[in-house]
Amino acid sequence: MEEKRKVIFSGIQPSGQLTLGNYLGAIKNWVKLQEEYDCYFCVVDLHAITVRQEPKDLRARTLEVMSIYIAAGIVPEKNTIFIQSHVPAHSEAAWLLNCYTYMGELSRMTQFKDKSQRYGDSVSAGLLDYPVLMAADILLYQTDLVPVGVDQKQHLELARDIAQRFNNTYSETFVIPEGYIAQNGAKIMSLQDPTKKMSKSDDNPNSYILIMDPPEVIRKKVSRAVTDSIGVVKYSDEQPGVKNLMTILSTITGQTTEQIEEKYEGQGYAQFKKDVAEAIVAELEPIQKKVKELVADKAYLESIYKAGAEKANYVANKTLRKMQKKIGFIPVSK
């Protein structure tokens, strides 16, 4: 008998344009993992509305994110690519799991604390509840492994705690998921303030590289990236800007940081920065070309998200029914 493959679930919010951080921290790893696992790659539009979205932009970005998955090398025939709002079980499971999650746990989440500072009292309840929806995403598919960047680690740990609590309250219901955080590229930093993570919601566009940034823009942003006056290409915490650019170069090309240090010994930063920019351009340009073709082919994208929704609904509903039964809800059919 064929052994059941382990399950991977991951997702990205269509809440802005995707950055090089999303690509190197998440998507590039998914592409590597797809051969070995039964993968669900979701466009998490329900998560995106925790902050206000323009409806037409949300629609366009949802399809763009899906196109980026495919253009980066996720093969639709081998994986389940779907849109979160097409599977109502996510919203329902999130409600159920809410009742097994503590306010204390949610208000301690660093991402919530950061974001709520920005919005004050008008921070939406959705933003607080966001990690519970993420737990629902993961647990509905009996996920073994969740490949994400470092910033999602705390949310993932909460998902594990919620799953364990539910299992302990009733009986074995969920697989307890593990995080998969790559050694390299799991935390790409801002190009303007390398002590902060590169983020699509940063106010300064020079701080991030977008997956869809034209080559000229990429070159400009890298050349303006903040470094230091030491002038030595060295992988060191004392040189966070240089360290970040080395991480980017190493994640893309596969060179080790030692090899990079050797290559640029005694050379300063000019050639190094040029090479970083060219490596990024070489990686992203073919993806951009494919994304442009894909977003123009609405019928093809529809065929993928329809098939994805069908498969995802089937699997998610199975777990949802299991949850409902354990909680004590009366099933409507036999």
Please state the residue numbers annotated as binding site.
Answer: 13-15, 21-22, 137, 149-151, 188, 197-201
Options 187, 197, 221, 273, the catalytic residue: 197
Annotated binding site for ATP, which residues? 13-15, 21-22, 149-151, 188, 197-201
| Secondary-structure breakdown of the chain: helix, strand, coil percentages, each rounded to the nearest 5 | 60, 10, 35
Minimum CB distance to ligand TYM smaller for 47 or for 273: 47
Annotated binding site for L-tryptophan, which residues? 137
Minimum CB distance to ligand TYM smaller for 136 or for 277: 136
Q: Residue 224 and residue 220: Cα distance in Å, rounded?
A: 6
First to last CA, the chain: 31
Options 6, 28, 78, 115, the catalytic residue: 115
Cβ-closest residue to ligand TYM?
Answer: 25
Minimum CB distance to ligand TYM smaller for 26 or for 316: 26
Sites of contact with ligand TYM (CB under 6 A): 9-13, 21-22, 25-26, 44, 47, 134, 137-138, 146, 148-149, 151-152, 155, 186-188, 197-198
- Residue 96's φ and ψ, nearest 5 degrees, are -60, -45
Q: Residue 82 and residue 44: Cα distance in Å, rounded?
A: 9
Minimum Å distance from CB 79 to ligand TYM?
14
Minimum Å distance from CB 90 to ligand TYM?
9
Options 4, 28, 113, 200, the catalytic residue: 200
Q: Has 4 been annotated as catalytic?
A: no
Sheet with strand 80-83: strands edge to edge: 80-83, 38-43, 7-12, 145-147, 178-180
Q: Has 220 been annotated as catalytic?
A: no
Q: Which two tokens stand for residue 196?
A: 């902060």
Q: Residue 150 and residue 197: Cα distance in Å, rounded?
A: 10
Minimum Å distance from CB 267 to ligand TYM?
27
Q: Residue 21 and residue 184: Cα distance in Å, rounded?
A: 11
Minimum CB distance to ligand TYM smaller for 87 or for 146: 146
Q: Residue 214 and residue 281: Cα distance in Å, rounded?
A: 8
Minimum CB distance to ligand TYM smaller for 76 or for 147: 147
Minimum CB distance to ligand TYM smaller for 44 or for 66: 44
Minimum Å distance from CB 193 to ligand TYM?
12
Minimum Å distance from CB 298 to ligand TYM?
23
Q: Residue 33 and residue 308: Cα distance in Å, rounded?
A: 18
Map residue 147 onto helix, strand or coil.
strand
Phi/psi-derived region of residue 12, left when phi > 0, alpha when psi is between -120 and 50, beta in every other case: beta
Q: Residue 37 and residue 43: Cα distance in Å, rounded?
A: 19
223, containing H or E segment: helix 215-223
Q: Has 322 been annotated as catalytic?
A: no
Q: Residue 206 and residue 228: Cα distance in Å, rounded?
A: 17
Minimum Å distance from CB 205 to ligand TYM?
15
Give the residue numbers marked as catalytic: 115, 197, 200
